[in-house]
Amino acid sequence: MEDEISNMGKNLSLSNEEVSGVEIPLGLWHTDSELPGFCAVGRLLSHKSFHFDSFRSTITTAFNPIRPMDMKMIDGNRILFRFDHQIDRKRVIDNSPWAFDKNLLVIKPVAAEENPMKVDLDWCDFHTHIHDFPLGKMTKEIAKFIENQIGGFIDVESDNNNGIWGSSLRIRVSLNITKPLKRVLRIRTSMGEDQLISFTYEKLPNFCYLCGCLGHLAKYCELQLQTDFVDPGENMPYGPWLIANQLHSIRKPTASIKQNRLLKWTTHAFFFYRSHYESTLGKQKHS
């Protein structure tokens, strides 16, 4: 709706009255409405529609807020979240990325003076691993430089001695989700030596093995519609090797999970009643 109104203003011939507009008195403009809580806005990166009530239930469970929270669709694929306490909102933002049914949920805080429809939701924070990097060059300065080549710098993980060491560098970086995932980066040292470093991503949701973009699978990729498209078969340019660890997607409990819960409850009940029976039998023998 916001884009439609903007395009309407560009394409239509507006009247003098519409162009001149009205001026809101200064006193009214500086009077903010009292927001009932702390808000955030998000969108689900998926080519398919989703059931909002199911989304609300599972996301609320996953966020597990200390105080109550609520959400509603505001336009298109944007969702407005309201938290009763800022600690809940901060924890949700800091623990991104989130996913619903393995589809990325991008979520950003929104202030009272901001229009939630204009908040940039094309960037999402990920923990990223840098591999094949010389051990002696794992410094915060170099890590920050590399982060800025693949996205926006946020943080670098280090040990208590302010050093960085291990089989890979673990960084926190803001990625542009409209672009393909970065697989490798060729770096050149000050001595003129070339080296290829690679990347993997934690909690990586659905992405396309053809184009490397988030939000759709290869079978729905528009690259297949191009006249010069050649099916790579099993030799996909992207793959699950980009995932640094197992994605814990947000889903409704499956039948197997329900069965496990029932089995756990039944086992507890069995031992409880057996213990009670043995205790009663022992009392009868001594009486």
Cis peptide before 68 (omega within 30 of 0): no
Nearest one of 68, 184, 203 to 131, comparing CA atoms: 184
What pLDDT is stored for residue 278 in this prediction? 55
CATH architecture under which domain 2-7+31-118 falls: 2-Layer Sandwich (3.30)
What is the pLDDT, as a whole number, of residue 82?
A: 94
pLDDT at position 202: 93
* Paired residues of 243 in beta bridges: 201
At residue 15, the pLDDT reads 67
Q: Where are the domains of the chain?
A: 2-7+31-118, 123-242
* Contact of 122 with 146, CB cutoff 8 Å: no
Q: How far is CA 24 from CA 21, 32, 157, in A?
A: 10, 13, 48
Write down the residue that tokens 């050149």 correspond to. Answer: 188
pLDDT of residue 180: 95
- Sheet strand arrangement including 152-156: 152-156, 169-176, 123-131, 194-201, 184-188
Q: Where are the alpha helices (DSSP H) in 41-172?
A: 52-63, 86-94, 140-150
Q: Looking at residue 259, what is its pLDDT?
A: 47
pLDDT 10s digits, 69-82: 999 998 878 999 99
Question: In which residue ranges of the chain is pLDDT below 70?
Answer: 1-12, 14-36, 158-167, 245-287
Which pLDDT score, from 0 to 100, does residue 254 have?
A: 40
Residue 258 pLDDT: 46
**C-beta of residue 114 within 8 angstroms of C-beta of residue 76:** no
Distance between CA atoms of residues 103 and 203, nearest Å = 11
Q: 42, 34, 272: which is closest to 177 by C-alpha?
A: 42
- Tell me what pLDDT residue 241 has: 93
Q: Rounded CA gap, 142 and 187, in Å?
A: 11
Chain center to CA of 129 = 17
pTM of the model: 0.71
Is 137:287 a contact under the CB 8 Å cutoff?
no
